[in-house]
């Protein structure tokens, strides 16, 4: 009974995080011409340049990274990662089709700081919920969890450092104006992840 309830709670938290992250990508980050970190950020850059759907770009870029997480953290982690990649791809596509808030694009074009602040907080909560249950959103989150395991560096800190290259790339390809707001958004995201991840009672790491 206890195991079943724990699994249900993990499942609900995972999906809450994935849905929130997908909603934030579509309605806050993309309209603001901001990027996220890791493979999500690369997928967003590809969307702006080549109109490749973020859902497909994210899915294809993450496939090779699943193997790394599987071998280091075990089968359960691998299953959660695979599920996370598939779920985020599906949720992002669904939000793009049926939950897109079109007027936000005009708002964030005029006030990009609002997009950076709200996008950073919401994406941080989404990633934090996933990490707190032993899963992740793929990409650099996998690398961040590996570094935490072997070098004891906090996940949010590693994400901030690793994502600098993505910000630089977006600044070159999409314009320097959005790069500064992207840095702010990523910093806020990393701080929120740390708050959620290391709060007592949130982590399920002992079961993975």
Cα–Cα–Cα angle for 97, 78, 59, nearest 5°?
30
Judge whether 36 and 123 are in contact, CB under 8 Å: yes
Lookup: tokens for 154: 């906090």
Judge whether 129 and 167 are in contact, CB under 8 Å: no
- Rounded CA-CA distance 103/51 in Å is 20
Judge whether 173 and 192 are in contact, CB under 8 Å: no
Residue 175 burial (C-beta neighbours within 10 Å; 0-12, 13-18, 19+): exposed
- Rounded CA-CA distance 28/115 in Å is 6
Q: Return the number of other C-beta atoms located less than 10 Å from residue 12's C-beta.
A: 12
DSSP 8-state secondary structure symbol assigned to residue 29: I
Separation in Å, CA 75 to CA 139, 182, 206: 18, 34, 14
Separation in Å, CA 168 to CA 35, 107, 155, 174, 191: 11, 25, 21, 10, 20
Tens digits of per-residue pLDDT, 47-97? 999 999 999 999 998 887 777 777 888 776 677 778 889 999 999 999 999
Separation in Å, CA 199 to CA 5, 91, 115, 193, 194: 21, 27, 26, 10, 8
Per-residue pLDDT 10s for the chain (208 aa) are 677 788 888 889 889 999 999 999 999 999 888 888 788 999 999 999 999 999 999 999 888 777 777 788 877 667 777 888 999 999 999 999 999 888 887 888 788 899 999 999 999 999 898 888 877 677 777 878 888 888 988 887 887 787 778 888 888 888 877 788 998 998 899 899 888 887 744 444 433 3
Lookup: tokens for 122: 């919401």
Judge whether 125 and 189 are in contact, CB under 8 Å: no
């Amino acid at each position: 009974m206890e195991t079943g309830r724990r699994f249900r709670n993990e499942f609900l938290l995972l999906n809450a995080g994935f849905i929130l992250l997908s909603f934030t990508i579509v309605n806050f980050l993309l309209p603001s011409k901001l990027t996220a970190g890791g493979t999500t950020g690369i997928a967003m850059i590809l969307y702006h340049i080549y109109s490749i759907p973020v859902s497909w770009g994210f899915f294809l870029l993450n496939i090779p990274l699943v193997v790394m997480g599987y071998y280091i953290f075990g089968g359960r982690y691998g299953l959660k990662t695979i599920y996370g990649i598939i779920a985020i791809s599906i949720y992002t596509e669904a939000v793009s089709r049926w939950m897109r808030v079109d007027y936000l694009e005009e708002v964030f074009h005029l006030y990009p700081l609002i997009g950076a602040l709200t996008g950073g907080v919401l994406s941080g909560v989404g990633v934090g919920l996933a990490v707190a249950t032993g899963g992740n959103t793929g990409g650099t989150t996998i690398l961040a969890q590996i570094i935490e395991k072997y070098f004891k560096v906090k996940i949010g800190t590693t994400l901030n450092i690793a994502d600098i290259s993505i910000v630089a790339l977006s600044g070159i390809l999409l314009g320097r104006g959005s790069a500064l707001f992207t840095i702010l958004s990523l910093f806020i995201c990393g701080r929120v992840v740390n708050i959620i991840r290391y709060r007592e009672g949130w982590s399920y790491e002992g079961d993975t």
